[in-house]
């Protein structure tokens, strides 16, 4: 059996995570061909992605402690002066940042939601409160609510938040052409790390991987700080792009390694790297990696670890699986759309509930029609032995294969089994 088929079988059985952070907006000239047609760029650098090994960066443990301290200080400041909205905005941003890196979902999502609810109640006529609400709603995959909050803000002050609209379009799998043009102009005018990395993500969303990677590298070059958070995030996003979109896992691995080197506590980066270590039959390394991040509120390390140690320690594997199941149940109760995708992958595999996995995948697909949502739904349908549904999803997903080689590869393997 080929290596590609091994990857396919593992994805169906355990559901590989294909997390794509919606944190950037990219753009560029459309490729040759029919106007507006998405394009997959052919990699031009056979040696693999360029990685910055020169910049030392700030000590990760110190940076994490500083993040916790900054949050605590702002919480105290807001308690003393609850009318000062900038404290609330900074706290929400830091809560989302901490959850993104450290997997502190139950704690920080709850706190962020409480703050935006308070902001809307205190400042219902303030556009900034509604834009803050939209940011949190987008992070929780409440895309309709996020759009409504942006509409409310625009109605108050007459200004539309174009980057937030673009982030919503990317998250939902919508047409990015207009957003691409706007983002390109913004990055040309202000070539700062935020605009350049924002540009790169939309380029990746359109399958222009070489251009996207070039802009990610430009963002790194423009970054003048040494905080490990930004450096690790860009490395992770590049890894996701090459490994989970462009189907170049051999290029993704050094980027994931760079992300966890910069920030060892980066939970999702450790999970992605462990998956590639398992594919390379480096089980001991993958197990040790996941053991180090088990204290996070993210259930994915537990679920993955249960699969990897099952043959050697069935009793502990079952305990880990039960804990992951319980944590997913809790998170789904509070934030169903935010965790439908990863929960579906878990229940398709180690969670051993393929029908629930399919329901979750359908819920996720109804909320967003991007390539990852289709991949999850197709894998869930196959896990549930719902071949007609998998084939129907294959047909629906066909327009997206031109921007997503992983989707194209998996659909090509499924197609011969469909009528």
Share of the chain above pLDDT 70, in %: 88
Does pLDDT of 30 surpass 50?
no
Does pLDDT of 402 surpass 80?
yes
DSSP sequence for 96-146? HHHHHHH--HHHHHHHHHHHHHHHHHH-TT-HHHHHHHHHHHHHTT-HHHH
Lowest mean pLDDT, pick from 94-108, 132-146, 307-321, 374-388 = 307-321
Confidence label for 245 from pLDDT (cuts 50, 70 and 90): very high
> pLDDT (tens digit, 9 = 90+) per residue, 323-332?
999 999 999 9
CB-based contact 77:87 (threshold 8 Å): yes
Cα–Cα distance for residue pair 344/51, rounded to 1 Å: 33
Give the residue-averaged pLDDT of 139-162.
96
Does pLDDT of 12 surpass 50?
no
Closest CA to 256 of 3, 7, 17, 40: 17
Cα–Cα distance for residue pair 237/239, rounded to 1 Å: 5
pLDDT score for 13: 32
Cα–Cα distance for residue pair 379/348, rounded to 1 Å: 8
> pLDDT (tens digit, 9 = 90+) per residue, 171-224?
999 999 999 999 999 999 999 999 999 999 999 999 999 999 999 999 999 999
pLDDT score for 53: 64
Give the residue-averaged pLDDT of 159-179.
95
Does pLDDT of 1 surpass 80?
no
Does pLDDT of 354 surpass 50?
yes
Which is higher by pLDDT, 31 or 112? 112
- At 388, list the tokens: 């007609």
Taking phi over 0 as left and psi of -120 to 50 as alpha, with beta for the rest, 22 belongs to beta
> pLDDT (tens digit, 9 = 90+) per residue, 80-116?
999 899 999 999 999 999 999 999 999 999 999 999 9
pLDDT score for 393: 97
- At 73, list the tokens: 């200080």
Closest CA to 245 of 89, 20, 2: 20
CB-based contact 207:38 (threshold 8 Å): yes
Closest CA to 134 of 98, 174, 100, 171: 171
> pLDDT (tens digit, 9 = 90+) per residue, 258-315?
999 999 999 999 999 999 999 999 999 999 999 999 999 999 999 999 999 987 899 9
pLDDT score for 14: 31
> pLDDT (tens digit, 9 = 90+) per residue, 38-79?
444 444 444 678 887 667 667 999 999 999 999 999 999 999
Buried b (16+ CB within 10 A) or exposed e, 165-193: bbbbbbbbbbebbebbebbbebbeeeeeb
- Residue 342: helix, strand or coil by DSSP? helix
Does pLDDT of 336 surpass 70?
yes
pLDDT score for 54: 63
> If 0-12 CB within 10 Å is exposed, 13-18 middle and 19+ buried, where does residue 386 land?
middle
Give the residue-averaged pLDDT of 138-157.
97
pLDDT score for 266: 98
pLDDT score for 312: 81
Does pLDDT of 16 surpass 70?
no
Mean of per-residue pLDDT scores for the chain: 89
Buried b (16+ CB within 10 A) or exposed e, 87-124: bbbebbebbbebbbbbbbbbebbebbbebbeebbeebe
In which residue are the tokens 């990746």 written? 204
Which is higher by pLDDT, 42 or 418? 418
Give the residue-averaged pLDDT of 143-153.
97
Cα–Cα distance for residue pair 12/326, rounded to 1 Å: 22
What's the CA dihedral at 248, 195, 167, 130 to 10 degrees? 150
DSSP sequence for 247-293? S-HHHHHHHHHHHHHH-TT-HHHHHHHHHHHHHTT-HHHHHHHHHTT
Cα–Cα distance for residue pair 233/245, rounded to 1 Å: 17
């Amino acid at each position: 059996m080929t290596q590609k088929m091994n990857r396919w079988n593992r994805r169906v059985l355990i559901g590989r995570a294909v997390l794509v952070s919606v944190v950037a907006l990219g753009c560029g000239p459309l490729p040759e061909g029919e106007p507006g047609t998405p394009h997959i760029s052919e990699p031009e650098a056979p040696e693999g992605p360029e990685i910055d090994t020169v910049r030392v960066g700030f000590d990760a443990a110190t940076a994490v402690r500083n993040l916790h301290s900054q949050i605590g200080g702002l919480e105290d400041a807001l308690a003393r002066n609850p009318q000062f909205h900038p404290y609330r905005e900074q706290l929400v941003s830091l809560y989302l940042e901490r959850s993104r890196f450290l997997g502190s979902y139950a704690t920080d999502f709850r706190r962020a939601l409480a703050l935006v609810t308070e902001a809307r109640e205190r400042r219902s006529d303030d556009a900034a409160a509604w834009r803050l609400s939209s940011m949190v709603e987008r992070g929780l995959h409440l895309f309709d609510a996020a759009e409504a909050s942006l509409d409310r803000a625009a109605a108050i002050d007459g200004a539309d938040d174009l980057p937030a609209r673009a982030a919503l379009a990317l998250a939902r799998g919508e047409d990015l052409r207009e957003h691409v043009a706007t983002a390109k102009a913004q990055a040309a005018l202000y070539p700062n790390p935020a605009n350049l990395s924002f540009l790169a993500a939309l380029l990746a969303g359109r399958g222009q991987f070489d251009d996207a990677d070039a802009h990610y590298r430009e963002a790194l070059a423009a970054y003048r700080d040494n905080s490990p958070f930004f450096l690790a995030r860009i490395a992770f996003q590049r890894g996701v792009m090459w490994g989970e979109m462009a189907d170049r896992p051999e290029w993704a691995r050094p980027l994931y390694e760079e992300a966890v080197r910069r920030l060892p506590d980066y939970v999702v980066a450790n999970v992605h790297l462990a998956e590639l270590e398992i594919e390379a039959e480096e089980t001991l390394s993958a197990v040790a990696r996941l053991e180090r991040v088990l204290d996070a509120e993210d259930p994915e390390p537990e679920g993955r670890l249960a699969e990897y140690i099952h043959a050697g320690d069935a009793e502990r594997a079952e305990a880990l699986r039960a804990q992951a199941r319980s944590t997913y149940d809790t998170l789904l109760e509070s934030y169903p759309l935010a965790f439908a995708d990863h929960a579906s992958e878990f229940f398709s595999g180690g969670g051993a509930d393929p029908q629930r996995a399919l329901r979750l995948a359908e819920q996720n697909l109804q909320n967003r029609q991007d390539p990852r949502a289709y991949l999850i739904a197709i894998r869930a349908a196959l896990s549930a032995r719902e071949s007609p549904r998998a084939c129907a999803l294959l047909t629906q997903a066909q327009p997206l294969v031109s921007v997503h080689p992983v989707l194209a590869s998996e659909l090509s393997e499924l197609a011969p089994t469909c009528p």
